[in-house]
């Protein structure tokens, strides 16, 4: 059970009389009109798990054989006592499965690398910073490599369009061709007018 | 002979299965505005999952996820904010300033003035259409997070209509518990 609810603006503790009101009530601290919807979970008291000892006829926990099994892991099917049961929404898992699945399972993923944004950054920022003149081909190559890697490896939990990849690939190719053309032009100018360049 | 049921799936099949598992169950229900898409670290979206809400926040090169399980949500608090009024004042002032381009005599002055007026006028109108703003917090026993995608009035109303019944359904005592 939480300590209570708080004003979203000043984070001051709101009184229980302000919960689930039809109209807005003023925050006691900042006077901002505030409304709070409180759900039954607020009143839930979460007690520390205390596994009970098992009897002869009962199944025991996989990890603590002396404790009575109360749940089954949704992934591996092991019997678990209340201490070993870890709830993720409607799923109940054992610590082993969480350890094994923490990287591969979408259930535990808390962030994703956006390869498409990085690739776009690599093609746009060098041009804006004029670094493109010196290292344009290198940045374009990196961006193109990221597009190729990220096309399959980008593991966002939510649907994401691929147009940024296409845009980054197109721009990196244009920049690479542009850079090669620029270098070729400079070399051609130096070769055709060596005296003007002091050669 | 290898039993086809136990052959290792190809990398394509794995990638497809992973993608399906990840993305099949999320439906976007709210998103931050157009300007936030251009400013790094401001864009965030709220998705509806089977048994939870997913708050996806983009921080330029990463996307960070927060899950709020319906059975764990303790409260949703929202306060009225004056942000939309201040934004209207700012966009209105910039629109007024952009009209000064029309004092110049020349086609280019009119063109530039027209572009600025169009941009700031559009932002002002979209801000007014968006309506009043709120600061919205969602609270569980473990965390209190601000939900920026639902801070406009119409978004907040829609969000409540979708989410509150699902939270109540997830938190009502089950048949087994009621029998006890």
What is the per-residue DSSP string for B21-50? HHHTT-EEEEE--TGGGTSTTT-EEEEE-S
Residue B72 touches chain A, beta carbons under 8 Å: yes
- Taking residues B108-136, report their average pLDDT: 92
The secondary structure of residue A8, as a DSSP letter, is: T
Distance from CA of B106 to the nearest CA of A (A): 31
pLDDT confidence of residue A133? 83
Please tell me the distance in Å from B168's CA to the nearest CA on chain A.
7
B167 touches chain A (CB under 8 A): yes
What six digits make up the tokens of A181? 């053309």
pLDDT computed for residue A2 by the predictor: 63
Query: What pLDDT was estimated at residue B4?
Result: 39
Residue B122, φ and ψ in degrees, nearest 5: -60, -45
CA distance A23 to B106: 55
Residues in A touching B74 (Cβ below 8 Å): 2, 5, 38-39, 41-42
Q: Which residues of chain A have pLDDT under 50?
A: none
CB atoms B63 and A114 under 8 Å: yes
pLDDT of residue B40: 61
Rounded to a whole number of angstroms, the distance from the CA of A120 to the nearest CA of chain B is 10
Token pair in block for residue A84: 């070993």
DSSP string of B45-106, one letter each residue: EEEE-SSEEEEEEEETTEEEEEEEETTT--EEEEEEESHHHHHHHHHHHHHHHHGGGGGS-S
* Residue percentage of chain A with pLDDT more than 70: 96
For chain B, the average pLDDT equals 82
Q: What is the DSSP code (8-state) at residue A42?
A: G
Q: CA-CA distance, A172 to A142, in Å (whole number)? A: 9
Q: How far apart are CA B85 and CA B124, in angstroms?
A: 10
pLDDT computed for residue B1 by the predictor: 37
The 3-state DSSP composition of chain A as helix, strand, coil percent (nearest 5) reads 40, 15, 45
């Amino acid at each position: 059970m939480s300590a209570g609810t708080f004003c979203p603006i000043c984070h001051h503790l709101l009184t229980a009389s302000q919960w689930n009101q039809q109209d807005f009530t003023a925050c006691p601290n900042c006077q901002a009109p505030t409304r709070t919807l409180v759900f039954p979970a607020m009143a839930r008291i979460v007690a520390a798990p205390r596994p009970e000892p098992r009897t002869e006829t009962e199944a025991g926990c996989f990890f603590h054989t002396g404790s009575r099994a109360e749940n089954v892991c949704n992934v591996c099917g092991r019997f678990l006592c209340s201490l070993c049961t870890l709830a993720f929404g409607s799923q109940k898992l054992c610590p082993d499965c969480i350890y094994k699945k923490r990287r591969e399972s979408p259930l535990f993923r808390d962030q994703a690398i956006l390869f498409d944004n990085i690739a776009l950054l690599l093609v746009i920022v060098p041009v804006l910073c004029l670094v493109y003149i010196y290292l344009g081909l290198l940045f374009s190559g990196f961006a193109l490599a990221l597009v190729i890697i990220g096309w399959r490896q980008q593991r966002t939990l939510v649907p994401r369009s691929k147009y940024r990849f296409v845009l980054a690939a197109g721009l990196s190719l244009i920049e690479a061709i542009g850079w090669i053309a620029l270098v070729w032009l400079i070399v051609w100018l130096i070769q055709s007018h060596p005296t003007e360049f002091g050669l | 002979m290898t039993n086809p049921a136990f052959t290792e799936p190809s990398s394509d099949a794995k990638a497809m299965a992973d993608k399906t598992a990840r993305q099949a169950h999320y439906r976007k229900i709210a998103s931050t505005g157009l300007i936030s898409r251009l400013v790094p670290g401001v864009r965030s979206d709220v998705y509806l999952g089977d048994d939870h809400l997913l708050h996806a926040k983009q921080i330029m090169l990463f996307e960070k996820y927060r899950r709020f399980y319906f059975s764990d949500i303790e409260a949703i608090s929202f306060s009225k904010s004056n942000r939309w009024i201040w934004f209207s004042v700012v966009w209105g002032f910039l629109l007024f300033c952009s009209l000064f381009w029309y004092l110049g005599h020349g086609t280019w002055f009119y063109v530039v003035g027209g572009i600025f007026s169009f941009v700031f006028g559009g932002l002002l109108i979209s801000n007014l259409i968006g309506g009043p703003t709120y600061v919205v917090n969602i609270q569980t026993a473990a965390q209190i997070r601000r939900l920026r995608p639902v801070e406009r009035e119409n978004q907040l109303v829609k969000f409540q209509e979708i989410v509150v019944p699902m939270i109540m359904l997830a938190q009502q005592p089950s048949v087994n518990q009621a029998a006890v």
